[in-house]
């Protein structure tokens, strides 16, 4: 409320209502439903981002977005490139008079990349109360075993004790950098008791005879310009006890610290490239190889 006074000292109150529209898409989680109130003529944008859905979005090949207009009439617009899709710039849309609008986004022949964000907007033809529901289908290569992976952040470690030869562990590491950086991802097992071996695979469950990324001296290094280097998705590392038949005669523990970290090369072919920032009081892990660093 604002009070306006004239030159004679008299006053009058004036009430104002301000409507604000924000075009920053909000991230949604595919395993949840959403409800919202849409004003007439208003667009409400959303974003389906693989970073917000790391265990779902990179592994699906079909996504169905259903908009229920519980009250009023709302429309649905979706896009792979436009952060705020409208009727004029969308890739998929549904403008039915019925209370249910739906778009189906399917990867047919590589036309859709679910490793990238998908944007959608809800538009109110009238004042509307809506509910948004997601349904998705996993691609044939998806493996539910990946849900058991223990995530390791960059420059961190996990202390692990495997009680016997029948146990194993699965770890996941998601790169945070962009494709323009020449960062190396390193997985290292600091073994304290007995021996272990491990191998890694990109966006898939590691299998011993299926992947070439096996550890050497308890280390796997994936260089920035290697063919197997990626930055959209997740590395999975499967670790198992390394034992002989006579080890089965007695109970043996396998104790180690599993490290995951990344770094930029200091030099490449005699050319200085980059250096890591080091701060006093912080612990850093590094990997050196005479042929690459």
pLDDT digits (tens, 9 = 90+) for 197-255: 999 998 888 988 877 789 999 999 888 777 777 777 889 999 999 887 666 666 688 99
For 144-272, CATH number out of 3.40.50.300, 2.30.22.10, 2.70.70.10, 2.60.120.380 equals 2.60.120.380
Lowest mean pLDDT among 44-58, 62-76, 257-271: 257-271
Domains 13-138 and 144-272 share a fold: yes
Q: What CATH number labels 13-138? A: 2.60.120.380
Between CA 86 and CA 76 the distance in angstroms is 9
CB 139 within 8 A of CB 233: no
- State mean pLDDT over 182-196: 90
CB 261 within 8 A of CB 186: yes
Between CA 151 and CA 173 the distance in angstroms is 6
Between CA 107 and CA 117 the distance in angstroms is 14
- State mean pLDDT over 168-187: 86
In whole angstroms, how far apart are CA 266 and each of 10, 55, 58, 175, 283?
A: 74, 34, 32, 19, 19
Q: What percent of the chain has pLDDT over 70?
A: 78
Higher pLDDT, 5 or 160: 160
293 pLDDT exceeds 80? no
Res 205: pLDDT: 87
4-15 tens-digit pLDDT: 566 665 666 656
In whole angstroms, how far apart are CA 80 and each of 10, 47, 177?
A: 57, 10, 21
Domain boundaries, the chain: 13-138, 144-272
79 pLDDT exceeds 90? yes
- DSSP, res 205: -
Res 76: pLDDT: 96
Give the global pTM. Answer: 0.54
Res 10: pLDDT: 61
Q: Count CA atoms closer than 13 A to 90's CA, side-chain side.
A: 21
Res 290: pLDDT: 47
């Amino acid at each position: 409320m604002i009070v306006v006074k004239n030159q004679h000292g008299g006053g009058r109150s004036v009430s104002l209502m301000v409507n604000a529209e924000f075009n920053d898409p909000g991230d949604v989680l595919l395993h949840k439903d959403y409800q919202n109130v849409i004003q007439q003529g208003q667009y409400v944008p959303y974003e389906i981002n693989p970073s917000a859905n790391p265990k779902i979005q990179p592994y699906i090949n079909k996504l169905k977005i259903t908009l229920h207009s519980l009250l009023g009439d709302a429309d649905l617009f979706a896009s792979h490139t436009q952060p705020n899709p409208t009727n004029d710039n969308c890739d998929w849309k549904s403008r039915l008079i019925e209370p249910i609008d739906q778009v189906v986004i399917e990867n047919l022949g590589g036309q859709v990349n679910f490793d990238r964000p998908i944007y959608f907007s809800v538009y109110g033809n009238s004042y509307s109360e809506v509910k948004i529901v997601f349904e998705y289908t996993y691609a044939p290569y998806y493996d539910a075993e990946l849900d058991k992976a223990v995530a390791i952040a960059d420059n961190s470690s996990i202390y692990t004790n495997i009680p016997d030869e029948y146990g194993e562990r699965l770890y996941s590491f998601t790169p945070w950098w962009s494709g323009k950086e020449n960062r190396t991802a390193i997985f290292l097992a600091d073994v304290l008791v007995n021996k272990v071996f491990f191998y890694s695979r990109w966006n898939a469950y590691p299998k011993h005879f299926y992947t070439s990324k096996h550890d050497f001296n308890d280390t796997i290094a994936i260089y920035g310009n290697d063919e197997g280097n990626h930055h959209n998705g997740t590395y999975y590392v499967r670790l198992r006890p390394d034992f002989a038949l006579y080890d089965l005669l007695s109970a043996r523990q396998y104790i180690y610290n599993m490290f995951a970290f990344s770094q930029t090369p200091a030099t490449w072919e005699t050319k200085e490239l980059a250096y890591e920032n080091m701060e006093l009081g912080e612990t850093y892990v590094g990997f050196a190889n005479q042929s690459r660093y």
